[in-house]
Amino acid sequence: MMRIGKKITALAVSAAVLLSVFAACLQVFAQSSAETLRFGADGSFTILQFTDTQDTQNPSPNLVNFIRKALDEAKPDLVVFTGDQLKNYDSDFEGPGVQWKVKKALDAIIAPVVKRGIPFAVAFGNHDSCLDVTLEQQVAMMRQYKGCLVVDEGPSVSGCGNYNVPILSSDGTRTAFNLYFLDSGQSAVLPDQIAWYVSKSNELKESNAGVPVPSIEFQHIVPFNYDLVSAFAAQGDVIASFCGHNHYRSDNDPWLGIDRVYTPTSGFNAFGPGKESAARVIELNESDTTGYSTRLLTFIGLFGDNPLTDLRYMCFTLWSMEGDNALTKTMKIMAGIMPAMLYGMELAGGNLARFLYILMEFFGADITVNGL
């Protein structure tokens, strides 16, 4: 009887091991399938960059509404967040439960992307590492979402989230383009990270018959260190670096033949350009991978210059009435309610259900109703 019992136990253990291995294989397969980026049949590939969302587990309705609106307008193949996803200095992150708070804050910006079936990648910013939740823990949280491309090369390279993501040709036979992501830390990319980039660049070049693979790079703080930008130029693959951090700038500041493109904040819970807060569309084409086209989607551009947008901005943007006292703020908001209500009713065209939809969406509710 003891031998039979041992055999049964051994069989059960073996079955459990096989099942776990099978499950792990399925998970790896699912991840690898989700992580394959490819130019479309028409040769296009669109990236939508958000930066400096800088919010908490209680995000501004303007932020979540803006992300949804920008996603639906751009219809990107990939979303990139370039740092300062979290507002580490906000009192919302104080006290117990900080892990849950960070997870909820990240979910606010990631969930709309995942809901639309779009893969996403992240480069970390200087505020993201200043919490009682490490960047590595944040990566683990992000990896729970389908379509997450974030990888950490490990402790052998400074920072967290130094990695590359290839984009295959439309026929899937080769790497036609490449995306680099570097952690600029509190100020700049460090020498060992530059060495990692050069090694990865050479690796891609070797697998591409000795020809550099055209690339763009994402990091939070603009690359102002000569060693990094000169490495880009020497390797001959990176044509542009896209960054954030400044909150206001939206220009291109080329150096050594490398475009350094600023994107203003996409958030509403920190300083910024007001209604010109934006996301950046980056369009690539397989027929000419030596360049790109880019444009901004702004808050006011997507929502329009109207009383409803004015009220959104006043109610849910931290700096919208900076310098005004509480009474003045209240009076401004009260004065804006009636015009916004009338405009909403006009949009609804007398349809009560449509008006209620507009009202709930105003406060950040994510509702999908056919016909509305």
Q: Where exactly are the structural domains of the chain?
A: 36-302, 306-362
Q: How long a stretch of residues is the chain?
A: 372
Confidence of residue 365 (pLDDT cuts 50, 70, 90): confident
Alpha helices in the chain (DSSP H): 2-34, 61-74, 98-115, 135-142, 191-206, 226-235, 299-303, 307-316, 326-348, 352-362
- Average pLDDT rounded to a whole number, residues 230-247: 98
Confidence of residue 372 (pLDDT cuts 50, 70, 90): low
Task: Give me the pLDDT at residue 14, please.
Answer: 43
Of the candidates 249, 265, 246, the residue with the CA atom closest to the CA atom of residue 60: 265
- Average pLDDT rounded to a whole number, residues 70-81: 98
- Average pLDDT rounded to a whole number, residues 196-223: 98
β pairing state of 238-243 and 215-218 = parallel
Per-residue pLDDT reduced to its tens digit, 275-310: 999 999 999 999 999 999 999 999 999 999 999 999
170 C-beta neighbours (distance < 10 Å), count: 17
Task: Give me the pLDDT at residue 90, please.
Answer: 66
Q: Of the given ranges (20-24, 61-65, 97-101, 114-118), which has the lowest mean pLDDT?
A: 20-24
Cα 229 from Cα 256, distance rounded (Å): 7
Of the candidates 33, 38, 29, 123, the residue with the CA atom closest to the CA atom of residue 77: 38
For residue 369 the two structure tokens come to 């109703």
Q: What does the mean pLDDT of the chain come to?
A: 88
Task: Give me the pLDDT at residue 211, please.
Answer: 98
Task: Give me the pLDDT at residue 369, please.
Answer: 52
Q: Say whether pLDDT at 143 is over 50.
A: yes
For residue 52 the two structure tokens come to 């400096």
- Average pLDDT rounded to a whole number, residues 73-84: 97
Task: Give me the pLDDT at residue 155, please.
Answer: 86
Q: Say whether pLDDT at 13 is over 50.
A: no
Instruction: Specify which residues 59 forms β-bridges with.
Output: none
Q: Which residue has the tokens 């009636």?
A: 338
Cα 355 from Cα 360, distance rounded (Å): 9
Q: Say whether pLDDT at 256 is over 60.
A: yes
- Average pLDDT rounded to a whole number, residues 259-276: 94
Cα 108 from Cα 367, distance rounded (Å): 14
The proportion of the chain whose per-residue pLDDT surpasses 70, expressed as a percent, equals 88
- Average pLDDT rounded to a whole number, residues 339-367: 90
- Average pLDDT rounded to a whole number, residues 246-262: 97
Query: Which of the pair, 364 or 251, is modelled with greater confidence?
Result: 251
Contacts of 316 (CB under 8 A, 6+ apart): 60, 61, 62, 268
Cα 204 from Cα 206, distance rounded (Å): 5
- Average pLDDT rounded to a whole number, residues 56-82: 96
- Average pLDDT rounded to a whole number, residues 69-79: 98
Task: Give me the pLDDT at residue 95, please.
Answer: 78
Query: Which of the pair, 144 or 364, is modelled with greater confidence?
Result: 144
Question: For 36-302, which CATH class?
Answer: alpha beta
Query: Which of the pair, 131 or 185, is modelled with greater confidence?
Result: 185
Per-residue pLDDT reduced to its tens digit, 185-196: 999 999 999 999
The sign of the dihedral angle between the CA atoms of 18, 145, 97, 360 is negative
- Average pLDDT rounded to a whole number, residues 108-114: 97
- Average pLDDT rounded to a whole number, residues 260-285: 96
- Three-state SS at 145: coil
Dihedrals phi, psi of 340, to nearest 5 degrees: -65, -40
Cα 357 from Cα 349, distance rounded (Å): 12
Contacts of 106 (CB under 8 A, 6+ apart): 85, 86, 138, 141, 142
Cα 273 from Cα 212, distance rounded (Å): 38
Confidence of residue 33 (pLDDT cuts 50, 70, 90): very low
Q: What is the CA radius of gyration of the chain?
A: 23
Instruction: Specify which residues 80 forms β-bridges with.
Output: 49, 121
Query: How far apart, in Å, are the Cα atoms of 146 and each of 31, 34, 111, 112, 142?
Result: 8, 7, 10, 12, 9
Q: Say whether pLDDT at 15 is over 90.
A: no
The proportion of the chain whose per-residue pLDDT surpasses 90, expressed as a percent, equals 73
